[in-house]
Amino acid sequence: MKDLQALPEEAFKKDFGGKTRTVADIVYEVNLVNDHVGMVIRGEEPFVWPEGAAWIKAPEGFGAKDDVIAAFQKSSEKIISTVDAYSVEELEAPLQTEDGETNRAERCRFMTLHVWYHGGQLNFIQTLLGDDAWHWK
């Protein structure tokens, strides 16, 4: 959240050379993963993952800094409250998914690594824009 807040408004829609994704695109994908994992953890039928494009892109109209941050906060709060509702035993219990057997804790690890990976991309974008400060310390 602090990294997103530190980025300038123009970073959310900026394309660095035609092949990169914008900050809005990255956050949109993170939110999709958070929401998908949350549905799996809660035992809901998850939505079908978007196919076809090489990279997930934000929908038209999703790109203003305040909107992207609000969507990230909403998605984050929902998955945190989902995970907090389970005991350690429930997190480690077997869970059947479309990809086979796993558990809620493994899905949380995947989601955490996914956020971490994209956080690094946001930090790289930050440096491309001339900001090399650590905003999340």
Question: What CATH number does the domain containing 83 carry?
Answer: 1.20.120.450
Asked if 81 and 73 count as a contact pair (C-beta separation under 8 A), the reply is no
Residue 97: band (very low, low, confident or very high) from pLDDT cuts 50, 70, 90: confident
137 pLDDT exceeds 90? no
In a domain, 135, yes or no: no
* Mean pLDDT for all residues in the chain: 93
Confidence label for 65 from pLDDT (cuts 50, 70 and 90): very high
- Asked if the structure places residue 64 within a domain, the reply is yes
Angle at 32 between CA 30 and CA 35, to 5 degrees: 110
Number of domains into which the chain is organized: 1
Asked if residue 99 belongs to a domain, the reply is yes
Nearest to 120 by CA among 98, 136, 100: 136
* pLDDT of 101 above 70: yes
Query: Using CA atoms in the order 36, 44, 51, 28, what is the torsion angle rounded to 10 degrees?
Result: -30
pLDDT of 66 strictly over 90: yes
pLDDT, residue 53, reads 63
Q: What is the DSSP string of 37-65?
A: HHHHHHT--PPPPP-SSSS--PPTT---H
Taking only the tens place, the pLDDT of each residue in 44-60 is 999 988 877 678 999 99
Question: Is the pLDDT score of 99 beyond 90?
Answer: no
Rounded mean pLDDT of 1-16? Answer: 93
Whether 18 is covered by a domain: the verdict is yes
18: left (phi over 0), alpha (psi -120 to 50) or beta: left
Residue range 73-99: average pLDDT?
Answer: 95
Distance CA 94, CA 125 (A): 39
Residue with tokens 């990255």, as numbered in its chain: 26
Supply the range of the domain harboring residue 119: 1-129
Amino acid at 62: F
Token pair 């796993």: residue: 102
